[in-house]
Structure 1
Amino acid sequence: MINVLFVCLGNICRSPMAEAVFRDLVKKENLSDKIAVDSAATSSWHIGSPPHKGTLGILKKYDISAEGLVGRQLKKEDFDKFDYIVGMDVSNTKNIAEIVGHPEHSKILRLLDLTDHKKDVPDPYYTGDFDETYDLVTAGCKALLGKIRVEHKL
Structure 2
Amino acid sequence: MFDLNARIRVFQQSLDSATFEAFGSDKVSQDEDTEMGNAREVEEAIRDLEAKLAQIISETNKMELEFQSEQNFHMQEQKVLDDLKHRISLMESVMEGSKELQELAMQTSRLEEACSSLGEKLQQKCICPSCQHDNVEMLGGIIQTSS
Query: TM-score when scaled to structure 2?
Result: 0.24
Q: Which has the higher contact order (CA 8 A, sep 6+)?
A: 1
Query: TM-score when scaled to structure 1?
Result: 0.23
Specify the structure having the higher radius of gyration (Cα): 2
Structure richer in strand, relative to its length: 1
Structure richer in helix, relative to its length: 2
